[in-house]
A and B are shown apart, each in its own frame.
Chain A
């Protein structure tokens, strides 16, 4: 009897140890990735790297200014497209949650989120690049906006579902028309939550490369025309990393440091807001 209990307790202790070890092991890659990328990239980051254009192949020096500008333009336009549509669709799903059609659309939104990013790239190619006959920043923005859409829809829906019914009923009882209830009561109430979704969506698409490979493509020069090819930070990382030049490899690491810092800060800011509305 005594022995049996001791055995059970021992199994319990061993299992707990194993689970603990596996948990802590799984965060090691995070540190390894960040450490090595920083170790190899940080020393190449300086004002020149951030403000100059790339030098021709093989020459030492040059920067990624065009890619930084390109990333902001492409992600900016993608956000301008995805945010209004996403928020309105989110309102729709939350306001008509009992209807058959919104049940169906919810499945579609999940499906949309599950589409591999490279397939979204093909779509933007077929819809924009092919008719216009050349690569363009706009097609990249369209691809990224499709990726951002489900993230915004879901977070908007989730936060609006959390608005207490009393608040809504109060506004209706005061005689407010339906659209004002939504715009002046529900949206302000859920503002921080929706903002979280937007920030997480932006941090997600800022790092996307696959949908840009054959849409925004890349550009050696600084370009502000959205109908022309445009460079982005993730694209530069990919091209430089897979090139045979040592100098470009170093720059790929440096560009990764820049990208990680931007993406993770936006991500953490989003998380900070998330904590505020979830508690």
Chain B
């Protein structure tokens, strides 16, 4: 009996450890951001200048960079991941091909982000540069658009797998009912399946957005690392995550380091909120 009690205690302890871990993460971030929070207050979120030399720090260029890259990448992702979800769960009847396709799509998610970044830097960027030359815009190659493309490659597998799962939750009776009334596959999809699973698919996109929001390495390598507000979708920029990756080891002053950690705190809070929101939406769908 005593062993039993000890065992139950150990289980409970592991659960409590998770609580301690997460609160520890949050408190450490807050605590180390204090110098910057004290100095800049709420202005930190509205100031455009990031100037380590004069110890002036504001997050606006990076908030905009992060929002731009994640929104554009999500927009690119939507048609692809919707198609994959629909194709795999509704159209493709051949089990073997379906398995192969699914494995290939999931393998993309398995490629390390730094390798995708390397590919983006040396193969995709020169390609984009050629297009920019043809379009007559400054040929930089790296920038917001390239980063968004890379991000969408990385989040398509994620949102597609959620979408497929949600679609497969729709009961077959509903499908069959519509088909027996004479609806074409497309009409079943438009009239029944998509409205039925809309929330789940939407939740999946919210979670994918969260992924794109915090992705670091690949973005750092192709975004151009310019600490200013991007003027077009082709101009170089900086996201919150890439800023930390670039400057953290070089930060010498306390204020610089503390400001970077405050950026990390903002990243933490936003990605936590996005995550919880996405999961709440999806959980409502699961029957």
A residues near B (Cβ < 8 Å) are 8-9, 11-12, 15-16, 18-23, 25-27, 29-30, 32-34, 36-37, 40, 85, 88-89, 91-93, 95-96, 101-102, 104-105, 107-119, 121-123, 125-127, 146, 149, 153, 177-179, 182, 203-204, 206-210, 213-214, 217, 234, 237-238, 241-242, 249, 252-253, 256, 259-260, 263-264, 267, 271
Contact = CB atoms under 8 A, between A and B. Distances in A.
B88 interface: yes
Contact of A115 (B32, B103, B268): B268
Most chain B CB inside 10 Å of its own CB: which residue of A177, A207, A260: A207
Contacts of A260: 111-112, 115
23 contacts: A12-B187, A15-B186, A21-B83, A22-B82, A23-B84, A23-B101, A27-B108, A30-B108, A37-B119, A88-B11, A109-B18, A115-B271, A126-B261, A204-B110, A209-B217, A210-B113, A234-B217, A241-B114, A241-B221, A242-B221, A263-B111, A264-B110, A271-B103
Instruction: State the 4 A-B residue pairs at the shortest beta-carbon distance, nearest first.
Output: A207-B112, A116-B214, A22-B83, A179-B7
Contact of A259 (B84, B106, B115, B210): B115
Main secondary structure of the interface of A (DSSP, over half): helix
B12 to A, nearest CB: 7
B216 A241 contact: no
B36 to A, nearest CB: 13
A89 B18 contact: yes
Nearest to A206: B112
Given A114-B275, A117-B216, A210-B216, A146 B21 contact: yes
Contacts of B153: 29
Interface of B: 1, 3-4, 6-8, 10-12, 14-15, 17-19, 21-22, 25, 28-29, 32, 79-84, 86-88, 91, 101, 103-108, 110-119, 121-123, 153, 156, 160, 184-187, 189, 207, 210, 213-217, 221, 241, 244-245, 248-249, 260-261, 264, 267-268, 271-272, 274-276, 279
A263 B272 contact: no
A177 B113 CA distance: 46
Nearest to B122: A249
Main SS class of interface, B: helix
Given A29-B108, A118-B214, A177-B3, A207 B91 contact: no
A32 B14 CA distance: 43
Given A177-B4, A209-B112, A249-B122, A214 B249 contact: yes
Contacts of A40: 122
A30 B112 contact: no
A110 B275 CA distance: 8
Given A116-B271, A121-B248, A263-B110, 18 more contacts: A12-B185, A12-B186, A22-B83, A23-B88, A30-B108, A91-B11, A93-B15, A108-B22, A114-B274, A119-B244, A123-B29, A179-B4, A204-B110, A210-B217, A242-B221, A252-B118, A264-B107, A271-B106
A96 B106 CA distance: 31
B91 A19 contact: yes
Contacts, number: 248
Contacts of A15: 185-186, 189
A214 to B, nearest CB: 5
B99 to A, nearest CB: 9
Nearest to B121: A241
Contacts of A209: 112-114, 216-217
A242 B218 CA distance: 12
Given A20-B87, A23-B87, A271-B103, A112 B279 contact: no
B249 to A, nearest CB: 5
A116 B241 contact: yes
Nearest to A112: B22
A19 B105 contact: no
Contacts of A149: 18, 21
Contact of A11 (B82, B116, B186): B186
B267 A118 contact: yes
Contacts of B110: 203-204, 263-264, 267
A23 B14 CA distance: 42
Given A110-B275, A263-B112, A115 B214 contact: yes
